[in-house]
Amino acid sequence: MPDSDVAVRPDVAIIIPARYDSSRYPGKPLAILRGATGIAKPLIQRSWECATSIIDADNVWIATDDDRVAAVVRGFGGRVIMTSADCANGTERCADAVRQMGRLPQIIVNLQGDAPLTPNFVVTALVDALAAAPDIMMMTPAVRCSGSTYRHLIQDQAEGRVGGTTVVFGRNGHALYFSKRVIPHLPPAAATLPFPPIHLHLGVYAYRPAALERYVAMEPSELELLEGLEQLRFIDGGIPVGVVPFDPIAWDAIELNNPSDVAPIEAILAARAIA
The pLDDT of residue 26 is: 85
CATH 3.90.550.10 fits 5-271, yes or no: yes
Show the low-confidence residues of the chain (pLDDT under 70).
1-10
The pLDDT of residue 152 is: 82
The pLDDT of residue 197 is: 93
The pLDDT of residue 9 is: 55
The pLDDT of residue 248 is: 86
The pLDDT of residue 130 is: 96
pTM (2 d.p.)? 0.90
pLDDT tens-place string over residues 67-124:
999 999 999 999 999 999 999 999 999 999 999 987 789 999 999 888 888 888 999 9
- E-strand stretches of the chain: 12-18, 32-34, 40-42, 60-64, 79-82, 107-111, 138-144, 165-169, 175-179, 199-201, 204-207, 242-246
What percentage of residues in the chain have a pLDDT greater than 70? 96
CA–CA distances in Å: residue 41 to residues 45, 66, 149: 6, 18, 25
